Structure 1
Amino acid sequence: MVVVGAGSAGCALAGRLAARGVRTALVEAGSVVVPPDATPIASLAATTPGHVLNWAYRAILCEGREITVPRGRVLGGSGAVNGGYFVRALPADFSDWGVPGWSYEDVLPYYRRLERDLDFCLSDVHGDAGPLRISRPAGRLRAPVTDPFLAACATIGYPAEPDKNGGGPPGAGPVPTNAVDGRRVSSATAYLPPPWGDGEWQDALTVYGGQAVESLLLEGDRVYGVRTGDAELHAGEVVVAAGAVGTPALLQRSGIGPEDTLRAAGVATRHELPGVGRGWSDHPSVFLPLRSGLPDPHPDAVAAQASLNVDSGTDPAGDLEVLLFAHPFAPGGPAHLMCAVQRPDSRGLLAITSPDHADPPRLDYRYLRSTSDRHRMRAAVRIAAEVLRAAGWDRAGPDDGGPAGWELGNDTRLDEWIHNRLTTSVHLSGSAAMGTGQDAVVGPDLRVQGLSGLRVADTSILPAVPRRGPAATAVMIGERAADLVFSG
């Protein structure tokens, strides 16, 4: 068995397979060593452009707005560099997707299996013996701004949601995190015994670091291995878990994807699959600063402390999120509220530009093209501004970066403010989507349509981005994929 990509899903998958005695090669393009200065959960330094631990992809968010998008380039993937937000997809997400065998009831055992929830372990929807310890900010790790934020939400009239992983209605509550004692705990740390083996099953797992997979090896309609540089790894089955950017790019480089995209990149079509790299989604977002001078959190506290999830008026499950970031982005700066549309209409395109794996793919998010998305983004910003006022965190001055009152009250002006600050939550999902129709890339068993010996297991399979960030769901996919592979 070859697993391509040692990210959140890939490490969970490889670890579970090896524990069952399945000889597994886990191939990672990035480093297999996470330096100590990259593990503090309060720091997002590893996500900055140019950092050795992330792939910095140039991306077009919308016309006239380009940014650099980070993705983890290290053992543990994005889970080794992100903010520790570890929230499940909602029951409504799985209902919307309608994939047989992937209802909320079907996947709940896997969400439970991956976690040891320290706050709700007695609940019948949580696990108490999984490899990942999950908790909510408390004690010294609860930032001074967290309780005022939650109190402000309650004052406005939003209900409490104390367990964001409980599958209940949306509201305001603390964010579950997989950080322990101020340190990130990625799925690599949780699922792979150090250093990939001092347990009984260590001989079943081999980890290859710094090995970029250039292409899959195909013979007719069968995939029989991967090519890394001048070497080849052969296997009875390959599972691609390279992430929602890396996976469709690898498929396309291997001649699997939309024929017009492959032709434009100079790649011969080996197996046409129109959905590869098309129709994906992510959460468009903007940041509002809190008033400067508020107390700083403890250095070991997670940045994402609490969130308010809201129904914009058309989605009872909650299609807007206001997320409290307690750590300032720069020394002496303010904390922020991130406002996001959690069930966007916009769908993106990903396309390789050449057969060379060193050439990054082109990412076009196509954000805020629909009237509904623009309306809901305005609503999210206005809700966040209301929370700021209720908490007494009104803006300190006209140049602090927040929208002025005259901008909040005018749709056109607010659209301009949003456009100039638009970013992404880096939750890209659906670039090799799962389903049963002709447009699906993989079926419910995660096998790539029309090919044998090949599956996909990461957030690229999700038919759309979930209403909550996908970190927990990525690990769940790895857990479920292990059962699907092991059972044949």
Structure 2
Amino acid sequence: MERNGIGPTAGCGQPGFGVPDVVVVGAGAAGAVLAARLSEDADRRVLLLDAGPAPRSAHEFGTRLLDARLVPGAVSGQAQVALWPVRLTSQRPWMVPRGRVLGGSTTVNGGYFVRARREDFDRWAAAGNPAWAYDRVLPHLRALENDLDYGASPVHGGSGPVPVRRGGLDHPAATAFRSAASLLGYPEEPDKNDQAAPGFGPVPSNAVDGVRKNTALTYLGAEVRDRPNLRVLGESTVRRILFAAGRATGVLIEHDGRLLTLDAGTVVVSAGALGSAHLLLLSGIGPRADLERLGIPVVRDAPALGTRLSDHPQIALEWGNQDDWGEPRESWLGGCLHLRLPGGTGTPAGPGDAEILQSLVPMAGLVAGTTAVPGAALPFLVSVLTPRPTGVMRLRSADPLAPADIDLGYLGTAEDRRRMREAVRAAAALVETPPFTDRGPGLIEPGRAILEDDDALDAWIHGHLGTAQHTCGTVPMGPEGDPDAVVDQYGRVHGVRGLRVADTSILPDAPHRGPAATAVLIGELVADAIRRCLP
């Protein structure tokens, strides 16, 4: 085994780089941000590791990965995608894709870039994380974006790394969606990032002119990659975090078939909500009994690690025929409706606890990587967004190659099932309005008899259940002494020096919107805390 093999033979740049001040594990939505921001300080040496390849340019990524009309993570057999086996319910296995390439899941996801709601930030702040209050994170939200629709304002940024543009609603199917939402009394929501009342509107996206702008391109451009104090090392899988005397001292990686020990002043784990939790558990941080059962030396007894997983259940509700509506021009995304489900808590002007997201590409096209499937139906992706930590992630084995046991725990209560039924019924009502039915067939399934019968609809939902892939909460933040917390509000692991976590695993629960923009925010906030040495 070699130590600090980070010279040219390991692909990490020039010799003489020395021991990095910070090793960032994972170059995704948060990790790429951390590496870019931390390396702005010339006296800090930063090493960024990723298990997948590390392209330096859009050309090296290739057009298919960056085509905003496609969702690479939905396509089977992609080398840049890692699949995690999970259970949605006790009877429904699933495979969850995660990006395995520079940019992480921002390279293979749908480009949805919607901020969490004020209520989410303030809920997290009230749980002992005051730095997460909406008014305190807003400057970071503005700093990370270049809003190409609204420009710089008290709400939006106009010069940040991530370009944000809302898709046009001129596609016939999106126009029909807008008309149907209006007929049913839903308000317009032209800017889903300004915290206005939820309703129908275009989707903010980090895709511009049909090109997905991942964090590798937006934060790690050529001028950043060429910084003498930054090294980016792809094809490097971290097997374990190393410790001495209660402090993280480096990582053990596999690179080019060799095991390398890399020393570091600080280790920041940004491997995603599943990857980060898995690595911490393998390294001896987690519930003591589980670690001891597998023979893993306990570095820190952290009972909450992996026990408060949060995600959003999703159903694809198919309608119509793509032949009647046409292919997408620049993005697979159409319109989006956020709404408050009947019987939900809060006020009508609250965050909205359901999402109906329009795809302009059939499901068969999304999984095949093509924009058109003659004769195929178009889907609405219907999600219940209520923050609910229902899932559990545990190790099956101390072998790092063995998959973890992950149960998302969907639909486990009568209230969970009621919310999902009401979300499906709301989407069905939309496609049964004249803006849709006047142009072709409306809802494909479920039929009216199933929609009107709770038990029958529950069975149909279970047979069609999927996930929005909004995983959060596996390494939740909170003050030291909180039994539900593993890290503090800046990602520092309680009871372990020199170790932080920075990705959506630290959120106490999933927000009322997809978490991609929040993941980038986490990178900004944790990097700022490190640079300012915040207590």
TM score, norm. by length of structure 1: 0.95
Kindly state the Cα deviation for residue 205 of structure 1 after the two structures are TM-superposed. Answer: 0.8
Paired position in structure 2 for 1:226: 251
In the alignment, residue 517 of structure 2 is paired with which amino acid?
A: A
3-state SS of 1:393 partner: helix
3-state SS of 1:213 partner: strand
The structure 1 residue matched to 2:31, chosen from 2, 7, 10, is: 10
Conserved? CA contact 1:49–1:68, under 8 Å: no
The 10-residue stretch of structure 1 (400-409 or 450-459) with the greater mean CA deviation from structure 2:
400-409
The structure 2 residue matched to 1:165, chosen from 176, 193, 196, is: 193
3-state SS of 2:172 partner: coil
3-state SS of 1:173 partner: strand
Conserved? CA contact 1:60–1:365, under 8 Å: yes
Conserved? CA contact 2:73–2:98, under 8 Å: no
Conserved? CA contact 1:87–1:175, under 8 Å: yes
Paired position in structure 2 for 1:287: 316
Deviation track 1:164-194 (CA, whole Å, cap 9, x = no partner) reads 0001221111000001221111111100122
Matched, 1:272 2:301: yes
Paired position in structure 1 for 2:137: 107
Kindly state the Cα deviation for residue 133 of structure 1 after the two structures are TM-superposed. Answer: 0.8
Same amino acid, percent of matched pairs: 41
Tell me how far apart the structure 1 counterparts of residues 473 and 76 of structure 2 sit (CA, whole Å).
24
The structure 2 residue matched to 1:123, chosen from 145, 148, 153, is: 153
In the alignment, residue 511 of structure 2 is paired with which amino acid?
A: P
TM score, norm. by length of structure 2: 0.87
Matches within 5 A, 1:307-456: 307-312=336-341, 313-315=344-346, 316-330=350-364, 331-332=373-374, 333-394=376-437, 402-436=445-479, 437-456=482-501
Conserved? CA contact 1:116–1:127, under 8 Å: yes
Change (3 A) 1:195 1:418: farther
Matched, 1:246 2:262: no
3-state SS of 1:267 partner: coil
Kindly state the Cα deviation for residue 328 of structure 1 after the two structures are TM-superposed. Answer: 1.5
Tell me how far apart the structure 1 counterparts of residues 210 and 294 of structure 2 sit (CA, whole Å).
44
Kindly state the Cα deviation for residue 413 of structure 1 after the two structures are TM-superposed. Answer: 0.3
Matched, 1:477 2:522: yes
Conserved? CA contact 1:346–1:367, under 8 Å: no
3-state SS of 1:430 partner: coil
Tell me how far apart the structure 1 counterparts of residues 84 and 270 of structure 2 sit (CA, whole Å).
18
Matched, 1:457 2:499: no
In the alignment, residue 340 of structure 1 is paired with which amino acid?
A: S
The structure 2 residue matched to 1:147, chosen from 167, 175, 179, is: 175
Conserved? CA contact 1:240–1:457, under 8 Å: yes
Conserved? CA contact 1:7–1:242, under 8 Å: yes
Kindly state the Cα deviation for residue 439 of structure 1 after the two structures are TM-superposed. Answer: 2.1
Conserved? CA contact 1:39–1:80, under 8 Å: yes
Matched, 1:197 2:225: yes
- Structure 2 unaligned residues grouped into runs of 5+: 1-21, 56-60, 365-372
Tell me how far apart the structure 2 counterparts of residues 27 and 122 of structure 1 sit (CA, whole Å).
33
The structure 2 residue matched to 1:257, chosen from 286, 303, 307, is: 286
3-state SS of 2:212 partner: coil
Paired position in structure 1 for 2:11: none
Tell me how far apart the structure 2 counterparts of residues 264 and 420 of structure 1 sit (CA, whole Å).
35
Tell me how far apart the structure 2 counterparts of residues 294 and 474 of structure 1 sit (CA, whole Å).
37
In the alignment, residue 435 of structure 1 is paired with which amino acid?
A: G
Paired position in structure 1 for 2:62: 35
In the alignment, residue 242 of structure 2 is paired with which amino acid?
A: L
Change (3 A) 1:144 1:123: farther
In the alignment, residue 456 of structure 1 is paired with which amino acid?
A: V
Tell me how far apart the structure 1 counterparts of residues 389 and 504 of structure 2 sit (CA, whole Å).
17
Tell me how far apart the structure 1 counterparts of residues 352 and 336 of structure 2 sit (CA, whole Å).
12
CA RMSD of aligned residues (A): 1.8
Conserved? CA contact 1:296–1:327, under 8 Å: no
Conserved? CA contact 1:30–1:53, under 8 Å: yes
In the alignment, residue 314 of structure 1 is paired with which amino acid?
A: T
Conserved? CA contact 2:25–2:268, under 8 Å: yes
Tell me how far apart the structure 2 counterparts of residues 482 and 288 of structure 1 sit (CA, whole Å).
40
Tell me how far apart the structure 1 counterparts of residues 395 and 203 of structure 2 sit (CA, whole Å).
36
The 10-residue stretch of structure 1 (244-253 or 55-64) with the greater mean CA deviation from structure 2:
55-64
Change (3 A) 1:185 1:391: farther
3-state SS of 2:505 partner: helix
3-state SS of 1:203 partner: coil
In the alignment, residue 63 of structure 1 is paired with which amino acid?
A: S
In the alignment, residue 420 of structure 1 is paired with which amino acid?
A: G
Deviation track 1:245-287 (CA, whole Å, cap 9, x = no partner) reads 0000000000100123223444222211011111111010101
Conserved? CA contact 2:172–2:325, under 8 Å: yes
Change (3 A) 1:452 1:335: same
Change (3 A) 1:260 1:184: same
